[in-house]
Amino acid sequence: MPWEQNFISYGLAKAEGKNVKVYKDKFSYVTLSIGEHVSHAIWAGDELNVFLESGKVRRYKDKFSYRVI
Domain residues of the chain, as ranges?
Answer: 5-68
Contacts of 45 (CB under 8 A, 6+ apart): none
Q: What is the value of pTM for the model shown?
A: 0.94
pLDDT above 90 (res 28): yes
Give me the pLDDT at residue 55, please.
97
Model pLDDT for residues 29-67, shown as the tens digit of each residue: 999 999 999 999 999 999 999 999 999 999 999 999 999
Q: Are the CB atoms for 20 and 14 separated by under 8 Å?
A: yes
Looking at residue 64, the DSSP 8-state letter turns out to be S
Q: Are the CB atoms for 34 and 50 separated by under 8 Å?
A: yes
Give me the pLDDT at residue 11, please.
97
Give me the pLDDT at residue 1, please.
79
